[in-house]
Chains A and B, each alone.
Chain A
Amino acid sequence: MDPHQKLFSALALLGSVLAYGCEAQVGPTGSKTPLGANGSENLPGSSPTSTSSTPGAGGMLPTVVAPTAADCGAAKFPGPSPIRRLTRREYNGTVKELLNDATAPALGFVAEETALGFNNNAVALTTSTLLVEQYMSAAEKLALTATADMAKLLPCDPAADQDGCAAKFIADFGERAFRRPITAEEQTRFAKTYQWGKLNQDFRAGIEMVIEAMLQSASFLYRAEFGEGTPVAGTVKLSSWELASRLSYLFVGSMPDAALRTAAQMGSLNTPAGLATEAARLLSDARTRGTVADFHDQWLGLGPVAAIERDPKVYAGYTTTVPAMFLSETRGFVDHVFWDGEGTVGALLTAPYTFLNSDLAKFYGVADSGQATFAKVTTDGVKRAGLLSQGSILAVQAKPLQTSPVHRGKFVREQFLCQLLPPPPANLVITPPELDPKLSTRERFTQHSADAACSGCHGLMDPIGLGFEHWDPVGRYRDMENGKVVSGAGELKATDVDGTFDGTVELGAKLAQSAAVNDCVATEWFRYAFGRSETPEDACSVAQLKSAMKADNNRMQSLLLAFTKTDAFLYRKAVTP
C-alpha cells in the first residue's frame, strides 16, 4: 500500500478539504474538518451517505459506509481502533499503580509526536531505538527499586518454595502489567526468564528480570484489543478486560485499579449498568482531574506557555516566574469551571472570575488579594471574563514585541470552531507589518488585510484577532498603544454567531452562544479520548456525544460519561490478521 494512504488515513478527508480556498472551506455549508464544527452534516437531511476507504487498525478494511441517523442504534459503527501506546503521562500513571513507583520515569522519554494538537494520536506515534533504549533503562530502574522490598512485592513467601512463588508472582503481576490474565505461553516464557536470573545470579535477579521483560513487552506498552464473540457485520464487542483498560485510561490515565480489575473478572462491565457504575466511580476519582487538565493543556495550546520569554525592559514587572503563574491561573480556572463551577463550555468563555495570587494580580494591575496562593477572584466581567482574558492564552498567541491578531484569530477559529486554515501560498514573501512607533497594531494590520493575496484567509483570522487588541503581548490590559486609543472592535465571519463585537468579553459571550463551538469541544474531546481523528464512520458516536452534552445543558462532564456509551468505545472491527 502507498504509505501516503497507509498513514493518517483517517485524515484523508481533511486533506481534500484543504485543497479548497479559505472561502470555500469555511463557508456555511462547506465541509470543515471531518465532522468538524458542523458534524451533523453527515447525518440525513444534510448530505447523502458518503463512502470512503478506511484502512483502520484492524487491517485494510473494505469500503465503509458512513452511517446516517437512521442507521444509528441498530447496527454498530465503531470506527477504527488503532493500537495505542502508553503516552508518557500514562506510563507514569501505570507504574504508579503497578509498582507504587512515583518517580515518573517517562518524563525523560522522547516526546510524543503531536497530531491535531494532541500527543496521543495513535497513528502519529512512532518508535525509535532511542525510545526503546529509554524503555529499557526505565524498566531496569523500576525493577531494581521494586525488588528492594521483596516481602512487599511478592504475593507469597519464597522461603518455602522459590519457584512456586515466582510462578505465582508471574501470574499475579503479569495480570496487572498486561491488564488481562496472562496466557500459559506467557507463563512459560517468563518462568524461563526468571530461571535464567536465578541460575546466573539469584532469586531476586530472576524476579527483577521478569519485571524488566514485562515492562518492555508490547502487552504492557501498548493496548492491543481483539474483542470477543462472533462478529456481527464485521464488528465485535470488546472484552471486559479491554473495557476495563479503556475506562481506566480514559478517566484516570492509568491501568485499571483493583476495583476495576475485579469488575473485569466478574464480567460486570459487560452490562450497561455495570459499566455505568464504574464510569461514575472513575469520574469522581481525583486522578481524573489530571486527565481533564491534560486535555485542556493540549486543546488550549498551553504547552509553550512555560517557555514564553519577554524583555522586562519593555514590559516592566515581567519576570521569569510569570509564565508559571499564567499556567496556574488557567489551570485553576479550568479545573474549577469543569468540576466545581458551571461545568459548561460557555462558562469557560464567559465566567466572571479567575484564579490569581498576589503576584499575578499585581502584574495584571488588578485588585490584589495579598495571598501567595492562587484563589478564585471575581473579575469585572466588562474587561475580563473567561479564558480569553487570561495571560496564558493572550501571551502565547502573541509575539515578543507585538501582539499577533493573526495568531489570536487563528487560535479562536481552530480551537473553538474546529476550522482549519490552509497555509499561505508557497514561495510568497511574507512581510508582516513592521513595528512602527507611530502606528497602532490595528493600523498596521489594516494595510496587511488589504493585500488581495492575503485577505482571503486573513479575513477570517485578523478581524477576530483584532478584537483582542486591548491585551498586550504579556496579557495586560491596555487602553493606549503608541499614543493611539486602542479599539477592541472585531468581527466573526463564517460562523453560526456572525457579527461584530467589542473586546474579548463580548467575543466570549458570542462564542458561548454558538452551537458550533459546543460541538467543536465535543470533537476535540473525541480526538483526545480515542487517540485518533473522527471519521465519517463515527457519525453516530459523535452525534451521541453532542446530544448528550446538549441534554445536560452543555456540561462537559457529561461528555466523559457519554464516551462510554458510544459504539466507538464499546465495539471494534473484528481483527483480520
Chain B
Amino acid sequence: MKALSRRTVLRGAGGVAISLPFLDIMGRVERASAQAKPGYSASGAPLRFFVFFSPNGTIPSAWAPTGGLNDWTLSRILKPLERHKAQLNVIQGVDQQGGGGDGHQNGMGGMLTGEMLNAGPFMGGDGGTAGWANGISVDQHIAQVIGTQTKFRSLELSVQSGSNGDNWNRMSYAAPDQPVPPEQSPYVAFDRIFTGFTPSGTGPTAADQLLVQRRKEVLGAAMEDYISLNKRLGQADREKLDAHLTAIRDIESRLNVPAATSSSATASCAVPSLGTPLDVKKNENFPVVGKLQMDLAAMALICDQTRVASLMFNRSVGGATFSWLNAGITRGHHDMSHDGDDVADTVEKLTLINIWYAEQFAYFLDLLAKVPEGTGTMLDNSLVLWCNELAKGNAHSRTDAAYVLAGGAGGNLKTNRYMQFSGNVPHNNLLLSLVNAMGIPDSSFGKADWCTGPLSGLV
C-alpha cells in the first residue's frame, strides 16, 4: 500500500486545523517533520513527553557509557537499559544551568526551566534562601502545545517527595513563580485520572453530561467572584487570584473533553488495579509506590488522558533509605551523596542506588514499548527524559550532568546513540531540542543567554 501523505489527508479533511485521529491506514511514512503538526509524528501519531527524575546526583564514572556516537556500550549504571538500547540517546557533557539558591535548589529549579531562581524564602542546605524558578518548565511548555486535546494537559506524579512544598520538590513550572505540585499518592491519582472513565469509549452517559453542565455552572459562578474581587484588589493580590482563576478556567475548559480520544494505542487501555492500599509515606513502600505511579502514568498516556507527564522519585535532597536493595544501606540517600569520592563503600552504594533507578526507568520504558501503535510501539512516538538535579552529589556540581533520552519522538529523533559534548554546552540547548523534537519549532528556551541553539546533532 502506498503511504498517504499527510497533506493529502489534510486536504481530505478540508484543511481544518483540528487534531487528526491517528490514521493507521497511512502506515509509516518518510520523516517529514516540517509538515507534521506539532505534537504529532509525520504519520499522524500523537507524541508523548515524559520526565523521569531521580535526585542527588549520580556516580559519573559508573554512569558514562564507553565508545563513540553509534558504536557504544552501556555503563554499569545504565546496564539495566540494555533491552532498550536501540531507543536511547545518552547525553554526556552538557552543563546544567541554574542559580540563585543552593546547589540542590539551583539544580531543581533550573533543570527543566533553564532559568534562575528568583529571590524567596525557601531555606537552602545550610541556611541561605531562594524562591521559585523564573520561567516555565519544558514539560509544561510542551504541554501547552500538545496537551490541548486530552482530559489533562499534563500529569505530575511523585514518590515520597515530602510533606512541604518548596523548591526542592517542585521541578515543573506553569510560569515564573508558578510551580506545579506533583501528586504523591497513587490512590488519589487513580481517582483523579480514572474515576468515571470507561476505556471502551462508549461516550458519556446522560448523568456524566449533567455533571459536566453542573460543574460548568458552578465554576462559572465561582469565577465571577475572582473577576469581581480582582477589580478592587492591588496588584500583588490580583496576581494571586489571577493564577487561581487561570487554574479554574483550565479545569472548566476540559470538562467537555471526551474520556478517550484518538490514538490506536488506546486499544491497550485498561483501568489499572492498584491492589490493597498501603502507606505511601513509608520508606519500605518506596519501590511499590514507584511502580504504581509508573503504571498509572503509563496507563494515563496509553488511555490518552494526557500526553505529557512526569514522575519525581523522592525529591532533591531526598533522604530515602534504600534498605530494599539489601546492600547494607542504613543512611539516607542525600546524606550518603555528600561523602567524598575516596569513600569506596559509599561510592559503591550510590552506584547501586543509581542502578536501581535505571531499572525503574527500564520498567517504565517496557510499559510503553509493549503497546503497539501504527507499525511500531508507543515508545517510538514518545520522548522520555531521565534527569537529575545534580551531576555529582558531593560537589553539588551540575557540569556534565547525566541525561538519558528514550524513544524516537515519532521519528524526529535518531536513536541508539551516545552523544558526547565538550566545552561549555548549556543544557538549555538540550531543553530546546526536546521542544523541537516534539514538533514545536522554537528557537530558544529558558534564559536567553543560556541558550545558544539546539543541541548539535540531536534532532
Contact = CB atoms under 8 A, between A and B. Distances in A.
Interface of A: 3-8, 11-12, 14-15, 18, 55-60, 82-83, 85, 108, 110-117, 119, 121, 123-133, 136, 139, 185-186, 189-190, 192-193, 196-197, 200-201, 205, 209, 212-214, 216-219, 221-222, 224, 226, 303-304, 307, 309, 311, 314, 399-401, 410, 414, 420-424, 426-432, 434, 457, 533, 575-577
A424 to B, nearest CB: 6
Given A421-B126, A430-B394, A83 B321 contact: no
Contacts of A224: 229, 232-233, 237
B181 A218 contact: no
A507 to B, nearest CB: 20
Interface in B200-217: 210, 213-215, 217
B196 interface: no
B281 interface: yes
Interface in B210-264: 210, 213-215, 217-219, 221-222, 224-226, 228-229, 231-241, 243-244, 247-248, 250-251
A314 B177 contact: no
Given A113-B122, A222-B240, A401-B331, 11 more contacts: A11-B129, A57-B234, A59-B234, A125-B240, A192-B221, A200-B210, A414-B127, A421-B127, A423-B103, A431-B394, A432-B338
Contact of A193 (B178, B221, B248): B221
Given A114-B165, A426-B396, A209 B225 contact: no
B177 A133 contact: no
B452 interface: no
A185 B129 contact: no
B214 A205 contact: yes
B192 interface: yes
Nearest to B245: A218
Interface string B373-414: 000000000000000000000111100000000000000000
A206 to B, nearest CB: 10
B68 interface: no
A132 B126 contact: no
A503 B105 CA distance: 35
Given A197-B214, A314-B330, A218 B241 contact: yes
Given A130-B183, A218-B244, A219-B225, A200 B165 contact: no
Nearest to B117: A4
B394 A132 contact: no
Interface of B: 101-103, 118-129, 131-132, 134, 153, 156, 162-166, 174, 176-181, 183, 185, 188, 192, 210, 213-215, 217-219, 221-222, 224-226, 228-229, 231-241, 243-244, 247-248, 250-251, 281, 283, 321, 330-332, 335, 338-341, 343, 394-397
Nearest to B338: A430
Given A4-B134, A427-B396, A431-B340, A124 B121 contact: yes
Among A4, A113, A115, A185, the one with the most B-chain Cβ atoms within 10 Å of its Cβ is: A113
A200 B332 CA distance: 56
19 contacts: A8-B121, A11-B121, A18-B127, A114-B165, A126-B177, A128-B180, A129-B250, A130-B181, A131-B181, A132-B251, A186-B225, A192-B221, A193-B218, A197-B217, A400-B330, A410-B126, A422-B126, A422-B127, A431-B394
A123 to B, nearest CB: 8
A196 B218 CA distance: 10
A210 to B, nearest CB: 8
B177 A7 contact: yes
A83 B240 contact: yes
A414 B126 CA distance: 10
A128 B251 CA distance: 11
Contacts of A110: 165, 181
B120 A124 contact: yes
A111 B165 contact: yes
Nearest to B240: A83
B331 A400 contact: yes
Contacts of A422: 126-128
Contacts of B153: 129
Contacts of B283: 307, 309
A-B CB proximity, top 7 nearest? A59-B234, A115-B121, A421-B127, A431-B340, A217-B225, A423-B128, A58-B234
Given A127-B243, A129-B250, A426-B103, A575 B234 contact: yes
Contact of B338 (A5, A126, A431): A431
Nearest to B399: A427
Contacts of A5: 119
A449 to B, nearest CB: 14
Contacts of B177: 3, 6-7, 126
Nearest to B106: A426
Given A3-B177, A309-B283, A131 B247 contact: yes
A216 B118 CA distance: 30
A5 B120 CA distance: 9
B331 A399 contact: yes
A7 B123 CA distance: 15
A457 B225 CA distance: 50
Contacts of A190: 221
Contacts of B248: 132, 216
Contacts of A193: 217-218, 221
B338 A127 contact: no
B129 A7 contact: no
Contacts of B178: 126, 128
Given A15-B129, A192-B221, A430-B394, A127 B247 contact: yes
Contacts of B224: 189
A7 B132 contact: yes
A400 B321 contact: yes
A55 B219 contact: no
B85 to A, nearest CB: 33
A197 B332 CA distance: 54
Contacts of B321: 309, 400
Nearest to B116: A4
A302 B375 CA distance: 55
Given A3-B176, A133-B251, A303 B121 contact: no
A212 B219 CA distance: 9
Contact of A15 (B119, B127, B239, B332): B119
A414 B124 CA distance: 13
Contact of B214 (A126, A209, A420): A209
A55 B119 CA distance: 14
Contact of B343 (A83, A114, A430, A434): A434
A56 B236 CA distance: 7
A43 B102 CA distance: 33
A219 B222 CA distance: 9
Contact of A57 (B213, B237, B243, B341): B237
B37 to A, nearest CB: 25
Given A83-B233, A112-B165, A213-B218, A132 B228 contact: no
B244 A132 contact: yes
A121 B165 CA distance: 12
Contacts of B281: 307
Among B179, B232, B240, the one with the most A-chain Cβ atoms within 10 Å of its Cβ is: B240
A121 B132 CA distance: 14
Nearest to A59: B234
Nearest to A197: B214
Nearest to B184: A111
B17 to A, nearest CB: 25
Contact of B122 (A115, A119, A414): A115
A538 B128 CA distance: 23
Contacts of A201: 210, 214
Contacts of B226: 217-218
Contacts of A6: 118, 177, 236, 239
A59 B335 CA distance: 43
Contact of A60 (B128, B129, B235): B235
